[in-house]
Amino acid sequence: MPDCFDYSSDDTEDDDQYGEEDVNCNEYDDDDFYKSDDQFDGRNQISDYASEGTNRTDSEEESFNSNVVDSPGGKIKLWKPIVPKDLMPDVDAIYQSLEEVVEMYKLYADKAGFGVRLNTVTRFGDKTIKKRLHMQTNACKIYEFEENHNHPLETKEERRYSKHARRLSYKDKEFIVRSSTSNIGATKAHKLQASLQGGYENVGPEAIDYKNFRRKVGNIIGDKDAQVVVDKMNMRKDEFHNYTFEYKFVDSVLNAMFWADETDKLYYKEFGDVISFDATFRTNKYGMIFVPFTAIDNHKRSINIGAGLLSNESIESYRWLLEAFLKAHVKHPQLVLTYQDPVILQAVQAIFPNSNHRLCMWHIMKKLQAKVSADFLKNTDFRKRFTKLVWNVYIEPEVFESRWKLLMRKFKLQDKRWFKDMYRDRNLWIPTYFKDMPLHGLMKTIQGLKA
C-alpha cells in the first residue's frame, strides 16, 4: 500500500505544546464535535507502553516495544516493533473497503508505538479508488508490508505529547463545553480533569489542547449565533399565524432585529394609543441593545407590544426599528414615551410625525442623583420638594414655572446646566403641560417597574 500511508511518526510535527495558544494540535482531526473518537484515545493505551524517559540505550529500545536489528547490508540499525501477530498486516490480505484497511493499520500502529496519517489516494474520474482489487467493488489488497523502521519508536513519555495521545475524545470535548457554560475556563477545566483522573499523566491532552478546542468551539458557535437566532425566528414566522420578524445584516453581521407575535398585535390594537420604548438595556455577551416596547392595559399593568435588538444607537438604527414596529402594527401611536436622547427624538419625529413625544419621568429622576451630590440629597429636603413639584398635575403651567424658579434660587441651582436644560424642555416631561393626554398611568407604571 505505498500510496496510502506515511509510516513516519507524527508525534512532533506542528505540535509544540509549549508554544503559542493558536497552535492547533488537533488540526489533523476532521471529526466534528459530535463524533466520538474514544477508540483512538491515547490515555487508555499509555499503560501498554513500558519504559519511561527519553534517554534510551539500545537494550532499552529493544525491550520497550521493538527489537533493534541490522539492515540487510549491515550499515544501519532498524527497529522492528513487537506486536501480536493477529494485529499485524498480512500480505495478500483482502479488505472490502479502504476504510477497513485504514482502521486495521491504525490499530497496528497504535500497538507498535508510532503514529500514521492517510497520505494520498489515486482515484478515477468517478471518484473510485484506482488501486482496488476488483473493478466492480472497492475491495483492497495488501501487496507489500515493510515491518522495520529506520528510527526508534515512541516511549511512554513521548507518547504523552504525540498527536495521537493528545487527541480529544468526545468526553473531553463535552467536558470542555460543559465547563465553559459554568464559567470555567479551559485551563481550569484541564486542572479539574487532571484532579478527577488522578494526575496530569492520566489526562492525555494538554492544557493548550483544551484552549485550542475551546477557542474553536467559540469561533464556530460565535460566528453562527446570529444565523441560528434568525433561522429560529423565521421558523416561528412560518409556524405561527400573524407573527412578525424583521432583521437587518450589515457586512454579514446582525445589525438589528424586531419581532412581535399575534398577542402583541392584539394588545397594541386595544391599548396602543400611548406606548413607550426603553433603549437602556444591554445584553451581556454581545453588547447589543435590547429595546422592549410597552403599553398599559385597562388594569394599569404593563403589557408587551413588541421588542427589538440593535447593535448601535445611531439614528439610522432607531429609524429602522420604528419602521419595523410600524410595519407590524400599521397605525401610529398618539403618544410615544422615551428616555432623554436627541437621536431617539429625531427618529420618533421622522417615523411618527403626527405622534406626540414625551420623556420618561423615571429616567429623569434617576439622572437627578448624578447632577447633585449625594450629601446634598441626603441633608436637604430638595429631593422631596423637587419630586412633589414635577409630579403635580393639578397646578397650571404658570404656577409650576414660578415654583421652579423659587426652588432653584433656594438651593442655588439656577446656574446648573442640567437644570436649565430640563426647564427649557419642560413641556416634554412635566405632566402639567399635557394633563389632558392619557399618559400618567404609563409614566407611573414604568417608575414602579424600574424601582
| Residue 299 reports pLDDT greater than 60 | yes
pLDDT: which is higher, 84 or 133: 84
C-alpha cell, 223:
460566528
> How does residue 244 score in pLDDT terms, banded at 50, 70 and 90?
very high
Asked if residue 165 lies in contact with residue 42, where contact means CB atoms within 8 angstroms, the answer is yes
Helical segments of 372-439, H only: 374-379, 382-390, 397-410, 417-424
Residue 81 has pLDDT above 90, yes or no: no
Give me the amino acid identity at 314.
S
The per-residue pLDDT for range 158-195, each reduced to its tens digit, is: 666 666 667 787 788 888 888 877 778 888 988 988 88
pLDDT of residue 161: 61
User: Highest mean pLDDT: which of 17-21, 35-39, 201-205, 331-335?
Assistant: 331-335
**Whether 315 contacts 347, CB under 8 Å:** yes
pLDDT of 43 higher than 80: no
Average pLDDT over residues 15-43: 36
pLDDT given at position 163? 65
pLDDT band at 432 (very low <50, low <70, confident <90, very high): confident
Per DSSP bridges, beta strands 274-277 and 335-338 are: parallel
**Where does residue 387 fall: left (phi above 0), alpha (psi -120 to 50 degrees), or beta otherwise?**
alpha
Q: Is pLDDT above 70 for 240?
A: yes
pLDDT of residue 428 exceeding 50: yes
Closest residue by Cα to residue 257 from 217, 228, 221: 228
pLDDT at position 157 = 64
Query: Which of helix, strand or coil describes residue 123?
Result: strand
Q: Per-residue pLDDT for 332 more than 80?
A: yes
Closest CA to 158 of 277, 4, 55, 31: 55
**If you average pLDDT over residues 201-223, what whole number do you get?**
75
pLDDT over 90 (residue 117): no
DSSP letters for 340-355? S-HHHHHHHHHH-TTS
The separation between the first and the last C-alpha atoms of the chain, rounded to the nearest angstrom, is 76
All structural domains of the chain, each given as residue ranges with its CATH number in brackets, are 5-19+46-165 (no CATH), 240-359 (3.30.420), 362-450 (no CATH)
Q: Which of the two residues, 77 and 304, has the higher pLDDT score?
A: 304
Checking if the pLDDT of 368 tops 90, the result is no
Computed over every residue of the chain, the mean pLDDT equals 75
In this prediction the pTM is: 0.49
Q: What percent of the chain has pLDDT over 70?
A: 73
Q: Which residue has the cell 466534528?
A: 32
Q: What's residue 351's pLDDT?
A: 94
pLDDT higher for 56 or 90? 90
8 Å CB contact between 258 and 324: yes
Q: Given this model, what pLDDT does residue 293 score?
A: 93
For the chain, give the longest Cα–Cα distance: 115
